[in-house]
Amino acid sequence: MPGSPVTDASPTIAGLLAAGTRPTMSFEFFPPRDDPGQQQLQQAIGELEPLHPDFVSVTYGATGSTRSRTIDATRMITARTGFRTMGHLTCVSQSEAEVRGAIESYAEVGIRHILAVRGDPPGGPTAPWHAHPHGLANATELVRLVKDTGDFCVGVAAFPDAHPDRSDVDLDARVLAEKEQAGAEFAITQLFFTADAYFRLVERVRALGCELPIVAGIQPVTNLAQIERFATFSGAELPAPMVERLHAVADDPAAVRSVGLEIATDLCDRLLAGGAPGLHFFTLNRSKATAEILANLRAIPPHA
């Protein structure tokens, strides 16, 4: 399932998904905070480049230097690899003018794709959300602003498990439909751990007439404490059989990693078999787990 080199005439991410010739495969990175982080990011990109992803994305820090690092990272990845690169954008702690400035910065470095998400409050995903006094209220407003500002292909977030500050999966589905009406062209899910959670999300939004392609976000499990922390922050439910398998080998980090990759491979296989249009791997700026899962998948017909 490799991608092709990207040119000015290449289709957008939405175009790739609409074509439906094969599932897309993509990677998420975060902007480095220091020189060692920069080296780690460059190493991960170099090691994953031979897999020819259909696109990559870079997460977003709200204001100041963190925002600049995101813009710099998108510029570096695009220049170094030619990947179809998507920058994230949030409403957190920013005025509308600052958000517009970030959109303009993306345009200046040649970024055609933006993932528009509300973002988590400074206190974490379960903290009360308070919009900036001169900012945007939610991701739907952000989508509309990005589409009104320039020629961007816009993606949004989706939640197979309930958004942690709402705990209402039906509301999540209605919000996703509203994002589509505002101009969103595809969605990428938050992390989740059961294929059924993904397929139930798809059923809910399709029942509302929402036709957004929903790419499955995949978090490889290589560290038990880390994945439990992510699940708490994201609201994702950790299935009991998965927890039991991991805790059974908790004293052996290598075994935890091996079991975790088996779980992720099985999840990806089930998602693709059920019609998921793509897989988006949260790499944490590392390459080995993602590369191993993809190698495992290619050994499973018909994913070769």
Please identify every residue annotated as catalytic.
Answer: 28
Query: How many residues would you count in the chain?
Result: 304
